């Protein structure tokens, strides 16, 4: 179903609320997603690749097709190097804990989500050292500072493609080039960008790409993982759990090949059925078309919010330099109050507070108070943006 | 009909081979690994014995590493 079709699902929820929390998870999903999942439950339903019968093979085929679609989306050559897990956090944990050892040094930015910060802080106890390169007040990053932070024991650079707080896009290609030039590995957190900004593992020199299925890929929750580039051998990346894989059953040691080494236990084939349907939908719509639509709405939202007296915007304030995630505060009103009143009085659902990213808020100057985040998605309209801006205007008027 | 089987590390690799076979119009079927060939509970790709050499070349061309091709 095309985005501009008259009967396209609106961004209003079943109970009539305006959903502006797409940076947390996209909602609604394309109708194909639920249909794909129901079809899997009703027509396939078997355990993928575990048994010899045709339904087991059919389920495995669906999982494999999802690997192929993910590999194609991110410019990865080998679909077997797409490792599925729960979400982007799962993928990041596999990459960080699987790679890093005592004595290793990692470079990251101050705009990272706790999905990166917490594993790195945990790894600090194991002797892994981290340099957090400071970002600018709008969340942007000077790639030269990343290069300047390289030490003799630096092994990895890990970067958030775009901020989950204010949408600011970080210079992935430049940092990828720096990493490659110095022989370092490059891990990208694509939570906020996969499906809305182009990502090419080869051109961007990404060795490890952590992704989630339930945000801009429009799949269900519980899908995501890590795509591993050709420079890494399985022996260099330790699995974070061991168990049955349906392969090499005669052996009681973990397989040493992709993807089985990292995918013990029955996978979320139901979720992947939904993700595959979502990826097919995304391909049909075109990432560029979705980005264009979101960028235009974001520009409108930034401009209109910026005109309201008492509203403070965070980030680049330039729609071309960010995803369609907009952060702001109303001076004199706590962000939590704004969120509650938008929900109760205006039927608008958004996210307030620190967004699991205290370091990013420090960079933006909104720590510890946090801010209000409007996360636009493919299904939002200009009407939605105007409605939300009107609501903020009314709240801001009260404070003055 | 005489058959051979391609023994592979994982079902994922088997499915990758399947997509190649499909593209090349070769006859194949995914089946459980015959017990006399391996104690593994996994799958293998059954092909026509007469296609063995063609398949061998095809796999090499695509740099796909398999365990073996065995006659049934």
HEC-encoded secondary structure of A184-213 = CEEEEECCCCECCECCCCCCCCCCEEEEEC
Give the span between the Cα atoms of B58 and B39, in whole angstroms.
27
Give the span between the Cα atoms of A171 and A204, in whole angstroms.
10
- In order of A147, A328, A338, A341, B72, the CA distances from A311 in angstroms are 36, 7, 12, 16, 75
Q: Do B32 and A52 touch (CB under 8 A)?
A: yes
- In order of A310, B2, B21, B28, B49, the CA distances from B25 in angstroms are 67, 18, 6, 9, 15
- Residue A101 DSSP SS3: coil
Chain B contact present for A250, CB below 8 A: yes
| Residue A139 DSSP code | S
Q: Looking at this predicted complex, what is its ipTM? A: 0.84
Q: Tell me the per-residue pLDDT of B24-70, one tens digit each, with 9 for 90 and over.
A: 999 999 998 888 887 666 789 999 999 999 999 999 999 999 999 99
| Residue A146 DSSP code | H
Count of C-beta atoms within a 10 Å radius of residue A132: 18
pLDDT at B24: 94
Among A374, A333, A330, CA closest to A355: A374
Chain A contact present for B23, CB below 8 A: no
Give the span between the Cα atoms of A241 and A395, in whole angstroms.
49
Phi, psi at A130, each rounded to 5°: -125, 135
Question: How long is chain B?
Answer: 72
- Spell out the alpha helix ranges (H) of A103-253: 114-124, 143-148, 172-181
- Check the CA dihedral A208-A214-A217-A223 and report its sign: positive
Whether the CB-CB separation of B54 and B28 falls below 8 Å is answered with no
Chain B contact present for A67, CB below 8 A: yes
Chain A contact present for B21, CB below 8 A: no
Alpha carbons within 13 angstroms on the beta-carbon side of residue B44 total: 26
pLDDT at A182: 98
pLDDT at B23: 94
Residues in A closer than 8 angstroms to B10, CB to CB, are 49, 80, 245-247, 255, 257, 259-260
Q: What angle do CA A185, A186, A189 make, to 5 degrees?
A: 145
**A251 min Cα distance to partner chain B (Å):** 9
Residues in A closer than 8 angstroms to B12, CB to CB, are 49, 60, 63-64, 67, 79-80, 258-260
pLDDT at A211: 98
Q: Do A250 and B39 touch (CB under 8 A)?
A: yes
A53 burial (CB, 10 Å; 0-12 / 13-18 / 19+) is exposed
Total-model pTM: 0.94
Q: Do B43 and A49 touch (CB under 8 A)?
A: yes
Give the span between the Cα atoms of A227 and A305, in whole angstroms.
38
Give the span between the Cα atoms of A55 and A61, in whole angstroms.
9
| Residue A374 DSSP code | E
Strands ordered across the beta sheet of A311-314: A311-314, A325-330, A371-375, A351-353
Query: Tokens 């501009």 map to which residue?
Result: A4
**A67 min Cα distance to partner chain B (Å):** 9
Q: What angle do CA A304, A306, A308 make, to 5 degrees?
A: 80
Which parts of chain A have pLDDT scores under 70? 1-9
Alpha carbons within 13 angstroms on the beta-carbon side of residue B19 total: 16
Whether the CB-CB separation of A204 and A143 falls below 8 Å is answered with no
Give the span between the Cα atoms of A172 and A186, in whole angstroms.
10
* Beta bridge partners of residue A375, listed in sequence order: A21, A325
Tokens standing for A290? Answer: 């979705």
Mind spelling out the 3-state secondary structure of A319-335?
A: HHHECCEEEEEECCCCH
Q: Tell me the per-residue pLDDT of A295-320, one tens digit each, with 9 for 90 and over.
A: 999 999 999 999 999 999 999 999 99
Chain A contact present for B16, CB below 8 A: yes
- Residue A156 DSSP SS3: strand
Chain A contact present for B35, CB below 8 A: no
Whether the CB-CB separation of A210 and A88 falls below 8 Å is answered with yes
Percent of chain A whose predicted confidence (pLDDT) is above 70: 98
Q: Are strands A154-160 and A185-189 parallel, antiparallel or unpaired?
A: parallel
Count of C-beta atoms within a 10 Å radius of residue B66: 18
């Amino acid at each position: 179903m095309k985005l501009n079709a008259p009967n396209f699902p609106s961004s209003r929820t079943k109970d009539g609320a305006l959903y502006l929390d797409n940076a947390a998870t996209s909602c609604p999903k394309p109708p194909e997603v639920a249909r794909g999942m129901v079809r899997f439950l009703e027509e396939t339903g078997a355990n993928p690749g575990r048994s010899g019968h045709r339904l087991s093979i059919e389920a495995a085929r669906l999982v494999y097709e999802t690997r192929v679609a993910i590999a194609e989306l991110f410019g990865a050559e080998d679909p077997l190097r797409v490792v599925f897990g729960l979400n982007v956090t799962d993928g990041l944990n596999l990459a960080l804990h699987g790679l890093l050892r005592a004595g290793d040094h990692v470079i990251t930015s101050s705009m990272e989500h706790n999905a990166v910060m917490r594993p790195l802080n945990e790894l600090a106890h194991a002797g892994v050292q981290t340099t957090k390169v400071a970002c600018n007040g709008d969340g942007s990053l000077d790639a030269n500072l990343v290069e300047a932070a390289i030490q003799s024991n630096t092994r990895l650079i890990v970067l958030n493609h775009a901020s989950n707080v204010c949408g600011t896009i970080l210079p992935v290609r430049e940092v990828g080039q720096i990493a490659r030039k110095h022989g370092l590995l490059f891990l990208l957190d694509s939570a906020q960008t996969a499906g809305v900004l182009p990502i090419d593992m080869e051109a961007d020199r990404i060795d490890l790409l952590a992704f989630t299925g339930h945000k801009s890929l429009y799949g269900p929750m519980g899908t995501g993982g890590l795509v591993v580039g050709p420079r890494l051998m399985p022996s260099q990346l330790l699995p974070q759990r061991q168990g049955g894989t349906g392969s090499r059953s005669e052996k009681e040691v973990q397989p040493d090949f992709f993807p089985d080494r990292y995918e013990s236990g029955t996978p979320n084939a139901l979720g992947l059925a939904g993700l595959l349907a979502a990826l097919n939908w995304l391909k049909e719509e075109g990432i560029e078309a979705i980005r264009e639509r979101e960028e235009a709405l974001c520009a409108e939202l930034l401009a209109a919010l910026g005109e309201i007296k008492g509203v403070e915007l965070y980030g680049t304030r330039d729609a071309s330099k960010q995803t369609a995630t907009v952060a702001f505060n109303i001076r004199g009103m706590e962000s939590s109050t704004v969120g509650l009143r938008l929900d109760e009085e205006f039927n608008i659902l958004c996210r307030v507070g620190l967004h699991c990213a205290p370091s990013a808020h420090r960079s933006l100057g909104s720590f510890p108070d946090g801010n209000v985040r409007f996360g636009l998605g493919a299904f939002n309209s200009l009407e939605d943006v105007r409605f939300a801006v009107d609501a903020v205007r009314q709240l801001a008027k009260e404070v003055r | 009909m005489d058959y051979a089987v391609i023994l592979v590390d994982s079902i994922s690799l088997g499915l990758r081979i399947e997509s190649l076979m499909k593209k090349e119009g070769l006859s194949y079927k995914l089946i459980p690994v015959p017990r006399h060939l391996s104690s593994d509970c996994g799958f293998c790709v059954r092909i026509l014995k007469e296609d063995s050499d063609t398949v061998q070349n095809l796999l090499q061309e695509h740099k796909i590493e398999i365990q073996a091709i065995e006659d049934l």
